[in-house]
Amino acid sequence: AQSVSQHNHHVILSEAASLELGCNYSYGGTVNLFWYVQYPGQHLQLLLKYFSGDPLVKGIKGFEAEFIKSKFSFNLRKPSVQWSDTAEYFCAVTGGGNKLTFGTGTQLKVEL
């Protein structure tokens, strides 16, 4: 069975700080990897996804993630966060099927 670990449960940053959220997955086969975001009061939306090809994936709002197969990792990064990035971030994987397995989420708070 596949599983996803997100190491940071709560992160507080000041505006303009750099962000890196860790995500590791456990699955022996080919995976598709996703980062979803849930802004306060809104529903889940996709930030970025990796299916194949270039392991450095760029998403919306300046986010990017790097798939490192040898480390089973798919960390999310943003060089300079904004107050509007305050949200909950979920890493997710599909492997051997289409259902998403999610990590426990990371609450990001960006302070002005």
Partner 1 sequence: GAGVSQSPSNKVTEKGKDVELRCDPISGHTALYWYRQSLGQGLEFLIYFQGNSAPDKSGLPSDRFSAERTGGSVSTLTIQRTQQEDSAVYLCASSPAMRGRGDEQFFGPGTRLTVL
Residues that bind partner 1 (CB under 8 A): 32, 34, 36, 42-46, 49, 51, 90, 92, 94, 97-105
Give the dihedral of Cα atoms 76, 61, 18, 92; nearest 10 deg.
-20
Note whether 11 and 20 are within 8 A (CB): no
Rounded to whole angstroms, the Cα distance separating 23 from 79 reads 17
Q: How far is the CB of 49 from partner 1 (least distance, A)?
A: 6
Rank residues 9 and 16 by Cβ distance to partner 1 and give the closer one.
Answer: 9
Q: Report the SS3 class of residue 84.
A: helix
Rank residues 15 and 99 by Cβ distance to partner 1 and give the closer one.
Answer: 99
Rank residues 17 and 100 by Cβ distance to partner 1 and give the closer one.
Answer: 100
